[in-house]
Amino acid sequence: MKTLLTIFLAAFCMYIFTESLYAQQTTTTTTTVTTKTTTVKLIRKTFPRYTFGLTGGAIFPLPKVLNQTFKPGGNFALDFGIRINKEVGIYVKSSYSFMSSKITAAPVGAYFEFTGGPRYYFTHPKLKSSLFVEAGVGGYYFRQNSYVNPGDTTGASVPQIQNTKVGINGGLGATLYLSDAVDILFKTKYNVVFTPNATSSFITVGAGFEFNIK
């Protein structure tokens, strides 16, 4: 009897000791953190790039010469550009502008522009659209046909005007990406034409398309 009691007590003590050791064990949990890596694809373009632009818009004559004789009119332009790198380019431009006269029965006055110069782009590596500023110098051909002024009682005709003068211009623009081949083009320019007595100045604004020539 004593032997069985001794065995029972020994087994019970062993059980208590085992449970005590198990309770003192520390369970370590390892948490794996997965970091999502986003790969940003940079937009890259090869240079030099060749562009051809077509725009249509308006011309606004400024005081004190053109504004006294002509009203705002229309403007159509095309230009060919070479983008040397992502920031610098050069261009040549031709345009036709027409303005209605403030004098009754007088024909329209028209400017033909042939200019060129540098262009500087402001870009972002993640964007395909861009802003730019440009300046130009060249020739401005002005034409207005002869007419008879109704206010002149003599009936004498005003002679035709044809002349070519040197002028300069400067302005800013933007290209809005549509595809690798075509962008939407916006431009505004301030033009100054030098004449013997005074300078003629006007502003042109236009919008159209720029085609990337590969």
- The answer, yes or no, to whether residue 98 has pLDDT greater than 60, is yes
Q: Which of 122-131, 153-162, 169-178 has the lowest mean pLDDT?
A: 153-162
pLDDT tens for 67-88 read 999 999 999 999 999 999 999 9
How distant, in Å, are the alpha carbons of 99, 125, 133, 182, 183 from that of 41? 48, 10, 27, 21, 21
Q: Domains in the chain and their CATH numbers?
A: 49-213 (2.40.160.20)
Q: What is the mean pLDDT of residues 148-155?
A: 75
CB 88 within 8 A of CB 118: yes
Q: What is the mean pLDDT of residues 119-144?
A: 95
**Closest C-alpha to 117, from 156, 167, 72:** 167
- The answer, yes or no, to whether residue 16 has pLDDT greater than 50, is no
| CB neighbour list of residue 201: distance below 8 Å, 6 or more residues apart | 61, 62, 65, 66, 190, 191, 192, 193
